[in-house]
Amino acid sequence: MAKISKEKNVFDELLDGIDFKNLTPEQITGPNGIINYLTKSILERALNAELTDELGCEKNQPKPSNVTNARNGSTPKTILLYFMTVKYA
């Protein structure tokens, strides 16, 4: 799990690798900008991890015999955040 503290962490290292000086405001905050992309990626991973924990198996793996619920496809969802809307499929 990523260490989140006041010390330099994996998120700082990720951001250090981005050349913000050469990005336009649209590339940062626009609908296809890095803020939207990172937010979507974090939410998708968190929701998939929650589902994996609930079902007891990874995506595309056989479900345990004691589990009655299963992954049966997906439908697009829209998650409304207080600062942005993220489309999740």
* Ranges of each domain in the chain: 23-62+74-89
pLDDT of residue 26: 95
pTM: predicted TM-score of the whole model, two decimal places: 0.68
Cα 33 → chain centroid? 15
Other residues' Cβ atoms within 10 Å of the Cβ of residue 62:
8
pLDDT in tens, 56-70: 888 877 777 777 777
